[in-house]
Amino acid sequence: MEEQVLEKPITKKVKEEKPLKKVCIICAKGSIEDVYAALVMTNGAVMEGIEARLFFTFFGLDAITKSQMNKLHTSTVGNPAMRMPGGLPFPSLLGMLPGVEAGVSTMMKKQMEKLDIPPVDEFMDMITAGGGEIYACKLAADMFGLEKEDLSEHVKDIITVGQFYEMCGGEGTQIIFT
Amino acid sequence: MGQVNFAGIAVDFNEEGYMTDPAQWNEEIARTIASEEGIELTDKHFEVLNYLREKHAAGEQLTIRKVGNSGIVDIKGLYQLFPGGPLKKSSRIAGIPKPASCV
């Protein structure tokens, strides 16, 4: 009888977790929740000592455009998770009325302030103070007719997708599209 | 994790290396934990640590923003004092629990 020889001895796999070293986060939308998701994740990385790059593109550019960044809204139309205070569903028809979106957005910002979540520009201050870097997408900036001077001073540069990928190199790096 | 002896006093730590009883803290312990983190404590560090301990004792949730608005140090300065994880490292050195905040 022939003895079966295994090519490799069965070794016990040692679970080894490699820590995250760098995150490259992309934000392509300009609503409060989309922008804050990206900001919280970027700032959270910086706080943990993880290198962080935040990249804004398309409507996400509103978050770094001087004239828009502190006036972001949440959409009150077509959002099935939107509720009235008290938990009743929020009718889309109501969301269409003038002023409702602004009111809801103000309420949301107040709620966040209570939790010590800063306004957009201050949040970016915190990120850059910790060494995080913020970039704008060249293609989208060209599309919307935005120049470097239209953007917040927290924006390090307007870069191409190629440059973005160049800065995403290295072991332990993750690209996150929010 | 258990207890570590500091000059005859047993100090309790959890498995992540945070002290479990802030009352056991003293400056000598702070210096020892800080040296583990590669930080040499200055007066400015102690101002931050004392601020954190006061706020923790008052039951407030700590955030980097709060420390930045404390008038002791701005956020950039906080990152310089405690590089690579300012709130976590300062909390650990201050002998208070690991921060549970997302900002």
| ipTM value | 0.91
Residues A147 and A165 in one domain: yes
Q: Using alpha carbons only, what angle is made at residue B89 by residues A111 and A36, rounded to the nearest 5 degrees?
A: 25
Average pLDDT across chain B, whole number: 93
| CB atoms B65 and A116 under 8 Å | yes
The one-letter amino acid code at A103 reads: G
Q: If you average pLDDT over residues A27-51, what whole number do you get?
A: 97
Answer yes or no: is A152 within a domain: yes
Q: Structure tokens of A175?
A: 């690209």
Residues A45 and A127 in one domain: yes
Whether A1 shows a pLDDT value over 60: the answer reads no
Return phi, psi of residue B85, to 5°: 125, 60
Binding-face residues of B in 22-61 toward A, CB within 8 A: 61
Residues A81 and A112 in one domain: yes
Residues A167 and A144 in one domain: yes
Looking at the structure of chain A, the number of domains it has is 2
Q: What is the pLDDT of residue A142?
A: 97
- For residue A9, what pLDDT band results from cuts at 50, 70 and 90? low
| CB atoms A129 and B75 under 8 Å | yes
Residues A42 and A26 in one domain: yes
Chain A residues whose CB is inside 8 A of the B92 CB are none
Is-contact A164 A139, C-beta < 8 A?
Answer: no
pTM, full prediction: 0.90
The CA distance from A152 to A133, in Å, is 12
B102 is an active site residue = yes
User: A102-151: per-residue pLDDT in tens?
Assistant: 999 999 999 999 988 999 999 999 999 999 999 999 999 999 999 999 99
> In terms of residue numbers, what domain contains A112?
77-118
Residues A37 and A98 in one domain: no
- Domain containing residue A28: CATH number: 3.40.1260.10
Residues A102 and A171 in one domain: no
Counted residue by residue, chain A has a size of 178
Residues A141 and A160 in one domain: yes
Answer yes or no: is A14 within a domain: no
Average pLDDT across chain A, whole number: 92
Answer yes or no: is A13 within a domain: no
Chain B residues whose CB is inside 8 A of the A49 CB are 83-85
Nearest to A76 by CA among A53, A48, A105: A105
Residues A82 and A167 in one domain: no
| CB atoms B74 and A49 under 8 Å | no
Residues A114 and A129 in one domain: no
Whether B1 shows a pLDDT value over 80: the answer reads no
| CB atoms A47 and B65 under 8 Å | no
Q: Count Cβ atoms within 10 A of the Cβ of residue B93 and give its class: 0-12 exposed, 13-18 middle, 19 or more buried.
A: buried
Answer yes or no: is A145 within a domain: yes
Answer yes or no: is A4 within a domain: no
Answer yes or no: is A63 within a domain: yes
Residues A137 and A166 in one domain: yes
Answer yes or no: is A61 within a domain: yes
User: B12-56: per-residue pLDDT in tens?
Assistant: 999 999 999 999 999 999 999 999 999 999 999 999 999 999 999
Chain B CB within 8 Å of residue A113 CB:
no
Residues A60 and A96 in one domain: no
